[in-house]
Amino acid sequence: MKLIRISAIFLLLTAISVQAICQVKNHAGYLSLNGKALSKGNPVNADGNIHVFKAPVLKILRTKAKEVKGTLLLFPGGDYQVLNMKNQGQKVAKFFNTQSFDVAILEYHVGVGQKIRDSALVDALKAFRLLQANRTVFGLRGNRLDLMGLSSGGHLAARTVQRLDEKEQPDNVILISPSYLNETHIGTVFPAVMPPLNPAARLFATFSANDNKDWIKSCSEYAKTWKGYDGQATFQLLPDSSYVTGVDVYPFDEKLKLVGILKDFLVSAVPDKDTRPNPAAVPVEAWSKKRHAEKLEAVAKDKFNMIMLGNSIINNFEHPEFHAVWNQFYAPRKALNLGFGGYRTENIIWNIEHGELDGQSPKVLVLEIGTNNVDEKNYPTRHTAGQLAGGIETIVNIVRQKLPNTKIIILRSFPGCYGGPNPTSHRAILERTSDIVSKLADGKHIFYCDVNQVFLNFDGSINHELMPDYLHPSPEGAKLWAQAMEPLLSKLMEDKSLDTDIPSNTAIVPVPKLENDSYNWYDRHAEVLQVKDAVNPEIILIGNSITHFWGGDHPVLRDSEGKPRATSNGPKSWESVFGKYRVLNLGFGWDRTQNVLWRLDNGEIDGLHPKMVMINIGTNNTTPTRNARMNTPEEIVEGISEVIKRVRSKIPTAKIVVMEVLPRDANPQGNKRLMVKEINSLLEKFAKDNNIQLVNIGPGLLAPDGTFLPGMMSDYVHPTDKGYQVWADAIRDIVDVP
């Protein structure tokens, strides 16, 4: 039977191959995105544009060159309303045919409406994967598969490469005047389109100098980020005579400089891997020789219990306006300030190798470093995320050698930025560095600490009062940083917390396990830390037992004996909505908002890059126990907002979806039911004010009189299979957005 199936598949592929090759040999042919040869594509009007879209189609134009370099997948522009098939499709394809490329022009979804772009992205991903898997079948030649887009097609190409897995990436990405790269995630300042985290392709991007200034800047920052992510990137700003976004002209006219530059890029060889030593890890003496001598004298005279090591952000604690913070949190612990203004990792390495830690054995060393390494304004060289992470790792390794009994706290690089509060490539590179560095934490000697949420507004922009120059914390910002770091610091110092300003709202004060349940809370947390990177989730669910019980045997859905939970519900509904995705279930039975905050502060989502995070938390805050008081609706919503802020700070590229608190208790007029109603009313206003996507499944669980529909809830708190199906049906369209 197996042999018969293989033979049938072979015959089918052979038939497709013959049909496809016959269609495309020496002239244009068409393919559906299912690989079926077609006789025609979408109708092209007399103006050379597609105005009426019927179905996604690939138009194939083969080169006549004997030595074929590869295939180019081409996305024409047209502002997602039409497709400029003549100047940006057919003519561009013929140009690449002369450069020894077969070309596949994608006729993707265009039209009116918010969903058109996502439909086009689905087309683009299908087309790329079809060509990648079947180039030989379709008679396309050469080893390369390049991706190119013009104007809105450039935007589509950038979105496509962002969604491709690391092993799927094209050989080259060519963006000609890509539009819309300045757009942000709704309700945030974070760019909606970012380079892949590990760029395997070379990037070529270009704009005309007289084009849209916001688009030029966003494309330049995109290219800088690509390079900062350790990729190869070229950005060219060309004279006014070049192609301009939105103008339906032929961009490769011989009189335009773009032609020669692009030809050079197409024939240029991929550079050999750089085998030189990492410049961020090679010790370099810097300018503060007097300060270095003073620190050598200090360590020779005395022993310190704590060391703060880094750049000017640490150094600032020696300024009078910061003394109050130092005297509260660090002086009582006999701390030494080894902060040096303007220093980079290579300078800190030199300082350490020249005696600044000699003779010391502190309990804790706090390391804050990195922003100067990616500073392109004041330094001749800018390090990539990989280089900077290597420099930080070198510092950690040297400290471990010199101070084997010292616990090291690596601070996530602060959200530095030049020229304003919103993210640039500077901040993006620092965040990518921190993702890499977070993997150094072992929970024994090395600890990763992220306090960045304290410096940010809710939309992710840097708070000007807390970072006046968008690089250095103010005294108030430094205190908030100290307070956020204090739980970990006091634990490692083995002393009591020195924070005297604990908020009265318990829902926003991070705490670990509060209640006993049928599983081991700490073991579950440890398992999350162990498996999260291997899962590499596309979707993360954060919540309490309602989330915990959904779906069956997940990697982190075990009882206290390590067996799959027998109490899990809704495996079919789970499969129906999440089955094709990698999902990390971070639901913990009995958790309140303060427990979630502790888990987020202790690594559960550090270094992850899901496309979506769904939050369902708050119901347990309505219940008083011996271990925790009941919170007010206002306090609970503040707790939920803090959870959202943590997620947004840690995973800025993720779409955040928040569930309204599910109705609970049998009596529609009962205290708990009325309290949940008030929570959701406040939550709705908060979500509206901050552009948060909120999902309410309560109406699907309740009858018109407010009683639960039969079979929806097992105990008036936790959904049954039917209840989980309501949840799945409500979010399916949200989850399936590409």
Tens-digit pLDDT profile for residues 607-626: 999 999 999 999 999 999 99
Question: Are 314 and 337 contacting, i.e. CB atoms less than 8 angstroms apart?
Answer: yes
Is the pLDDT confidence value at 9 over 80? no
Residue whose C-alpha is closest to residue 141's, from 69, 65, 58? 69
In whole angstroms, give the CA distance from residue 586 to residue 540.
Answer: 7
Q: Are 683 and 637 in contact (CB under 8 A)?
A: yes
pLDDT at 16: 46
Q: What's the token pair of residue 270? A: 């991929």
pLDDT at 59 over 70: yes
- Range scoring the smallest mean pLDDT among 110-114, 205-209, 379-383, 708-712: 110-114
What is the three-class DSSP state of 404? coil
Tell me the average pLDDT of the chain: 92
CA angle 546, 551, 552 (to 5 degrees): 110
Label the pairing between strands 49-50 and 83-84. Answer: antiparallel
Q: Per residue in 340-389, pLDDT tens? A: 999 999 999 999 999 999 999 999 999 999 999 999 999 999 999 999 99
Nearest to 556 by CA among 516, 581, 590, 587: 587
Beta bridge partners of 83: 50
- Between helix 633-650 and helix 671-689 the angle, nearest 10°, is 40
Query: Can you say whether residue 419 is alpha, beta or left, with left for phi > 0 and alpha for psi between -120 and 50 degrees?
Result: left
pLDDT (mean) for 71-99: 96
Tell me the three state secondary structure of residue 557.
Answer: coil
Q: Coil, strand or helix: which one is 72?
A: strand
- Sequence-ordered strand ranges (E) for 33-85: 37-38, 49-50, 57-61, 70-75, 83-84
Average of per-residue pLDDT across 573-594:
96
Spatial neighbors of 446 by CB under 8 A, at least 6 apart, are 396, 400, 407, 408, 410, 440
Distance (Å, rounded) from C-alpha 490 to C-alpha 543?
28
pLDDT at 24: 42
| Percentage with pLDDT > 90 across the chain | 86
CA distance 526 to 647: 19
Residues in the chain: 738
CB 300 within 8 A of CB 365: no
Q: Which helix (H) or strand (E) holds 699?
A: helix 698-701
654: three-class secondary structure by DSSP: coil
At residue 566 the predicted structure's pLDDT band, cuts being 50, 70 and 90, is very low
Distance CA 53, CA 85 (A): 12
CA distance 545 to 566: 13
Asked if the model's pLDDT at residue 564 lies above 80, the reply is no
Q: Which residues contact 262 (CB under 8 A, 6 or more apart)?
A: 174, 204, 206, 252
pLDDT of residue 77: 96
Give the Cα separation of 541 and 547 in Å (integer). Answer: 7
In the DSSP assignment, the letter for residue 137 is: T
- Count other C-beta atoms under 10 Å from residue 333's C-beta: 17
pLDDT value at 401 more than 90:
yes
Residue 6 is predicted with a pLDDT of 38
Question: Under a CB-based contact definition with an 8 Å cutoff, are residues 258 and 206 in contact?
Answer: yes
Task: Quote the pLDDT of residue 554.
Answer: 56
Tokens, residue 37:
């040869």
Question: Is the pLDDT at 240 greater than 90, yes or no?
Answer: no
Q: Which residue has the tokens 């608190």?
A: 661
**pLDDT-based confidence at 589, cuts 50/70/90?**
very high
Band (pLDDT 50/70/90 cuts) for residue 247 is confident
Res 21: pLDDT:
45
Read off the pLDDT of residues 127-159 as tens digits, 9 standing for 90 and up: 999 999 998 888 888 889 999 999 999 999 999
**What are the pLDDT digits (tens) for 285-336?**
999 999 999 999 999 999 999 999 999 999 999 999 999 999 999 999 999 9
Q: What is the pLDDT of residue 558?
A: 52
User: What do you get for the CA distance between the two ends of the chain, in Å?
Assistant: 37
Any residues with CB less than 8 A from the CB of 597 and at least 6 apart, and which? Answer: 508, 509, 510, 639, 642, 643, 646
- If 0-12 CB within 10 Å is exposed, 13-18 middle and 19+ buried, where does residue 319 land? exposed
How big is the CA angle at 85 (ends 83 and 89), to the nearest 5 degrees? 115
- Positive or negative CA dihedral for 45, 49, 51, 54? positive
* Chain mean position to CA 90: 36
Distance CA 248, CA 78 (A): 8
| H/E segment holding residue 162 | helix 152-163
